[in-house]
Amino acid sequence: MPETHHLRPRAHFTTASTWLNDPNGLVLVDGTYHLFFQTNPDGAVWGTMSWGHATSQDLITWVEQPVALRHNGSEAIYSGSVVVDHDNTSGFGEPSDDAPTLVAVYTSHYEPHAPRGGTEAQSLAWSRDGGTTWTTYPDNPVLDRGSSDFRDPKVFWHRPTASWVMVAVEALERQVVVYRSWDLRTWEHASTFGPAGSTEGVWECPDLFEVPVAGTDGTAWVLVASVGAGGPAGGSGTQWWVGSFDGVTFAPAGAGPPPVRWLDHGPDHYAAVSFDNTPGRRLMVGWAGNWAYATDVPTSPWVGVMSLAREVDLVRTSEGPALRQRPVLPAHADVARHTRAVPAEGVATLTLTTDEGRDPLVVTVDAAAGVLVLDRSRCGDQLGGPFSGVATAPLVAQAPAGPTVDVLVVVDGCVVEVYAQGGLVTLTAQVFPSAMLTTATWT
């Protein structure tokens, strides 16, 4: 396939020439952001899954690094997380080390012919040089339920109970399972959440974190789980719950089953998880992709793109606590930004096209009807599945931001992110126009 230079984003991470899906092991170490990710080191199709690696100072300009953890023929390296083991609880560090040890907790996906074939269990690797080189733990796996679909461990330090907490999924059961540990090597079961909310698709890539509730002194816990089907725009999507967490059990807020809430209402925002070790800030990155058509994406020589990093907190609204996501988008980020403040009863439409007026991508903010709509059905290459559907996001009825509905549309090669109402509503989509979308018209 000829190279698609015009679709290469400048502020969203893509690999040079390989396949990419979920972000893994997001961690800030000594001023450098590390992004590990699901990749196939051998090509631009899903397979021989491994952890790729990229680093950045500003979350915009990424430098791809050598593959960190590689498929070894009998075991694929599926999604997981990295923690900074400040107190060397794992014992993987040495007293002479001048930096804390990083510990990666990932899913070993055992190939059918291998010992444990057809199962998934959780394994460890560590780095004593700030994430450059990794050693796998000889006693892997450290947590094995004998399950075929037990994966995607996200680990964090829970200060009040002075313990490590892992959330992972039993994907087919639509459950998030919670485990605790004091040394990262041995784990005990704490609780199980689900099925709940959207259960049409398998559950994958959970996260659990505490964030401030803006305008109050309080905090709340957010549980995230991606779902492989039944998402808000068709295909995969990411749901979240708000509640409390005592180190053992996540309890959703309110009485009765909580409503389904989507992190992003676009078709392309999946497997979003947060960084470890960013004190005072909660930063998430998602894969701007959808399993319904991910393998048909016509970019070359790379396939797969990450979302922007987003700073996340909660905001009280008339509809209860809403998750706010604000993009990390410094002035030097080389992307097109289109902004508008739409009056409460108004409608504004942004049409983006190529120089020649082709391949329209249409974003409509209908404040009167209370919806944000993205229509890519005439914008360039159309893929299978739900790709050509129109994505609609409900606006928050009484957002604290005020009477107008503000909207920011970020266009960067093959990916478009829309933020409305100060980030209370987001919508992310891939687009494959025949040339760059350089022309913008508001009506």
* Shortest distance (Å) from residue 335 CB to ligand FRU: 25
State yes or no: is 406 an active-site residue.
Answer: no
Distance of CA 206 to the CA centre of its chain: 10
DSSP 8-state class, residue 73: S
Tell me how crowded residue 60 is: count the other CB atoms within 10 A of its CB: 22
* Shortest distance (Å) from residue 73 CB to ligand FRU: 17
Tell me how crowded residue 35 is: count the other CB atoms within 10 A of its CB: 23
In the structure encoding, which two tokens stand for residue 99, read together?
Answer: 């930096």
Instruction: Check binding of 264 to ligand FRU (CB under 6 A).
Output: no
Q: CB within 8 A of 7, min separation 6: which ones? A: 299, 413, 414, 432, 433
Instruction: Check binding of 154 to ligand FRU (CB under 6 A).
Output: no
How many amino acids of this chain bind ligand FRU (CB under 6 A)?
A: 12
* Shortest distance (Å) from residue 27 CB to ligand FRU: 18
Instruction: Check binding of 38 to ligand FRU (CB under 6 A).
Output: yes
* Shortest distance (Å) from residue 225 CB to ligand FRU: 11
**Residue whose CB is less far from ligand FRU, 151 or 174:** 151
Beta strands in 12-149 (DSSP E): 19-29, 32-40, 50-56, 62-69, 75-85, 101-110, 120-127, 135-136
Could you give the CA distance from residue 409 to residue 342 in angstroms, rounded to a whole number? 13
Could you give the CA distance from residue 276 to residue 23 in angstroms, rounded to a whole number? 13
* Shortest distance (Å) from residue 78 CB to ligand FRU: 3
**Residue whose CB is less far from ligand FRU, 92 or 291:** 291
Instruction: Check binding of 299 to ligand FRU (CB under 6 A).
Output: no
Q: CB within 8 A of 315, min separation 6: which ones? A: 213, 214, 215, 321, 322, 323, 324, 399, 400, 422, 424
Instruction: Check binding of 271 to ligand FRU (CB under 6 A).
Output: yes
Could you give the CA distance from residue 4 to residue 219 in angstroms, rounded to a whole number? 44
Instruction: Check binding of 205 to ligand FRU (CB under 6 A).
Output: yes
Q: Which of 64, 75, 85, 204 binds ligand FRU (CB under 6 A)?
A: 204
**Residue whose CB is less far from ligand FRU, 22 or 64:** 22
Instruction: Check binding of 431 to ligand FRU (CB under 6 A).
Output: no
Instruction: Check binding of 263 to ligand FRU (CB under 6 A).
Output: no
- Binding to ligand FRU, residues 55-114 (CB under 6 A): 78-79, 107
**Residue whose CB is less far from ligand FRU, 163 or 428:** 428
Q: Which of 4, 14, 18, 21 binds ligand FRU (CB under 6 A)?
A: 21
Instruction: Check binding of 49 to ligand FRU (CB under 6 A).
Output: yes
* Shortest distance (Å) from residue 287 CB to ligand FRU: 7
Q: Is 113 helix (H, G, I), strand (E, B) or coil?
A: coil
**Residue whose CB is less far from ligand FRU, 106 or 187:** 106
Q: Which of 22, 207, 381, 412 is catalytic?
A: 22
Distance of CA 397 to the CA centre of its chain: 26
Tell me how crowded residue 328 is: count the other CB atoms within 10 A of its CB: 17
Contacts 24+ apart (CB under 8 A), 326-332: 326/419, 326/422, 326/423, 327/408, 327/410, 327/417, 327/419, 327/423, 328/58, 328/59, 328/60, 328/283, 329/11, 329/60, 329/410, 330/58, 330/60, 332/58, 332/60
* Shortest distance (Å) from residue 355 CB to ligand FRU: 35
Instruction: Check binding of 151 to ligand FRU (CB under 6 A).
Output: yes
**Residue whose CB is less far from ligand FRU, 196 or 205:** 205
Which has the closest alpha carbon to 243: 280, 218, 271? 218
Instruction: Check binding of 18 to ligand FRU (CB under 6 A).
Output: no
**Residue whose CB is less far from ligand FRU, 152 or 381:** 152
Question: Annotated active-site positions, please?
Answer: 22
Binding site for ligand FRU (CB under 6 A): 21-22, 38, 49, 78-79, 107, 151-152, 204-205, 271
